[in-house]
Structure 1
Amino acid sequence: MGYSKGCHTTFHHRYHLVWAPKYRFKVLHGEVRLRVRESIKQVCDEMDVTIINGALSRDHVHMFVEIPPHVSVSDFVRRAKGRSSRKFKQEFEHIRRRYWGQRFWGRGYFSTTAGNITEDVVMAYLDRHIAKNGFSPSA
């Protein structure tokens, strides 16, 4: 368990995050999947968020991240979801048709700290998920 350091802080804020496309449609495959990964990595770089592990399924994004104290979890998720939604509708015809006049991502997300379960359990789950689906946003 390593601590991260900022200019005036030492922290260990790790969050287990999950969010899905609206109605949990299985649209995260092919080029869309690559763009989701690229978009999330770009937001993480901009906000100094570290991806510890993650998995992209066909119907949801599942991540274990370390978020610095000056960034709220809701701001990170809002930016990660918002950055991609409009671009996907512009770039991909099948997404524009399926989600016409609606949001791409569902309104909510799941967030928890690794308090009730150990980080090893979260990491093992994500590793099994990656082995099954063969795709990680952190790679």
Structure 2
Amino acid sequence: MSEYVHKSHNVSVLLYHLVCPAKYRRVVFTPEVDGCLKEVCLEIAKRYEIQFVEIGTDKDHVHFLVQSVPMYSPTQIARVIKSITAREIFKRVPSVKKQLWGGEFWTKGYFVNTVGQKGNEKTIATYVRNQGREKEYQQLHREGSVKRTVYPLFQ
């Protein structure tokens, strides 16, 4: 879960729901790529002040629930995550390059949304965690706690 980040002149809790589709919406998130992605994200968390609260993959896109500090804009966070993960996945799982012939892993666009700490963080975290799990999605959808959102930008 998120925590208050204490700096010398501020205290913050900034949470972002970031959705990044693979280039050409190709189905590239195999268990191997998924594991590699999560390892790389742990390395990013060590180097930058970006904490990954949840990561959920769903065949052709990834949902990240990230927490950061005010000095990083959502655009900078997306740029750091997308550039480092793309480079490392291509390096560690070379077979992905054959599926993505243009030399890019991610699409140019992304979706980002702020998440309230108390109001809907738990709901978004559950949604991100259960990406690609149809049974859990149906159960959550029936209970009314998560509404599946279709992002027109990525269709």
TM-score (structure 1 length as normaliser): 0.79
The one of 108, 121, 124 aligned to 2:123: 121
- Say what the alpha-carbon RMSD is for the aligned residues: 2.3
Query: Given residue 123 of structure 1, which amino acid in structure 2 is its aligned partner?
Result: A
| Structure 2 partner of 1:136 | none
- Shift of residue 2 of structure 1? 5.2
- The aligned residue for residue 98 of structure 1 is 99
TM-score calculated relative to the size of structure 2: 0.72
Shift in Å, 1:80: 1.4
Percent of aligned pairs sharing the same letter: 26
State the number of aligned residues: 131
- Please report how far the alpha carbon of residue 99 of structure 1 lies from its aligned counterpart in structure 2 after TM superposition: 2.0
Read off the aligned partner of 1:120 and give its amino acid letter.
K
**Shift in Å at residue 15 of structure 1?**
0.7
Asked whether the equivalents of residues 47 and 76 of structure 1 are also in contact (C-alpha less than 8 Å), the reply is no
Aligned equivalent of 1:63:
64
- Separation in 2, partners of 1:91, 1:123: 28
Aligned mates of 2:88, 2:52 — CA distance in 1: 22
In structure 2, the CA distance between the partners of 1:54 and 1:89, relative to structure 1 (3 Å rule), is closer
Q: Which runs of 5+ in 1 are unaligned?
A: 134-139
How far apart, CA to CA, are the structure 2 residues paired with 1:55 and 1:111?
15
Counting only pairs closer than 5 Å after superposition, residues 30-109 of structure 1 correspond to structure 2 as 30-109=31-110
The amino acid across from 1:85 in the alignment is A
Q: Which has the higher contact order (CA 8 A, sep 6+)?
A: 1
Structure 2, gaps ≥5 residues long: 135-155
